[in-house]
Amino acid sequence: MTSVATKMDSLARPAQRRGLSDLGIRNLFIIPTVLFLIVFNIFPLIYSLGYSFTDFSASANAPANFVGLRNYRELLGDENIWANFVITAKYVIISVSGQMIVGFGLALLLNRTFPMKGLVTTLLLLPMMMSAAVVGLFWKLLYDPSWGIINYALGLGDFAWLSNPDAALFAIAITDIWMWAPFVMLLSLAGLSAVPKYLYEAAAIDRAGTWYTFRRITLPLVAPILLIALIFRTMEAFKTFDIAYIMSTQPTTEVIAIRLYKQAFQQWDTGKSCALAYIVLIMVLAITNIYVKYLNKVKER
């Protein structure tokens, strides 16, 4: 007791005279991080903005020539690039709507008390914590036309999921749904558990039907958080690279990130890739902006 008291005493001096001021600490704590992010995230972007106006190729020894907006013009006029964007949009729609339906459905099922609920929920969350590249590789085995368990379980014979140009995108989306439906489930569960019990009790007293209760009470109250899940997943699906790149090289599954990768690191068309990267970047930032606005709105409530 005495020793504690002495220790406290020795520290009991006016704070201002020792150590850094609050302002100093604030700057010390915040500025390095911001600088780091500027150097390693923003500076590279400025660097590549510059290259996007040139015909630079990282594989040639020739210096870069300024070409103005030619790269952008060519890209926006290239039907192949538009095809990649259409594939990406298709992928986003299939995959994200699948995740929303499966995820929200799972949450509705889970939103009650039963034994080992915690364990089951955690088990269901495992897929989203795993590496998309490694999981994608393994799903190739599951999809194998001759011995894959998926065809066996569904009785599909030797349907070739990944080599069929029309099915491949769906196959990748299914894997993605498997990975990320748990994400939607997790958010939905949080939303569902936040719905006050008394609202349901009131509805029961009014003899409201299950569907009516769901539509008028559950859905409106869970909607904001579902929307967050939707925007977040849309953004992530838009950026998809790993899973699609590992699972398939079909022209019908060449999402924009794969096109960008090929252009930049296989054809070494660096200048043009920088321009394409900027087009993609602007789209992603637009979605991010919506996302952050929503986050703030939800946080305020």
Query: Segment 110-169, which members bind another protein (CB under 8 A)?
Result: 110, 112, 114, 118, 120-135, 137-139, 141-142, 144-147, 149, 152, 158-160, 162-165
Q: Which is nearer to another protein, 56 or 94 (CB)?
A: 56
Residue 216 touches another protein, criterion: CB under 8 A: no
The mark string for 49-78 relative to another protein (x by CB under 8 A, - otherwise) is --x------xxxx-----------------
Q: What value does the CA radius of gyration of the chain take, rounded to a whole number of Å?
A: 26
Matching residue, tokens 């029309």: 166
Q: Which is nearer to another protein, 90 or 239 (CB)?
A: 239
The residue from 67, 192, 225, 244 that contacts another protein (CB under 8 A) is 225
Q: Which is nearer to another protein, 69 or 204 (CB)?
A: 204
The residue from 3, 41, 79, 155 that contacts another protein (CB under 8 A) is 41
Q: How far apart are CA 154 and CA 176, in angstroms?
A: 19
Residue 241 touches another protein, criterion: CB under 8 A: yes
Residue 19 touches another protein, criterion: CB under 8 A: yes
Q: How far apart are CA 91 and CA 99, in angstroms?
A: 12
Residue 220 touches another protein, criterion: CB under 8 A: no
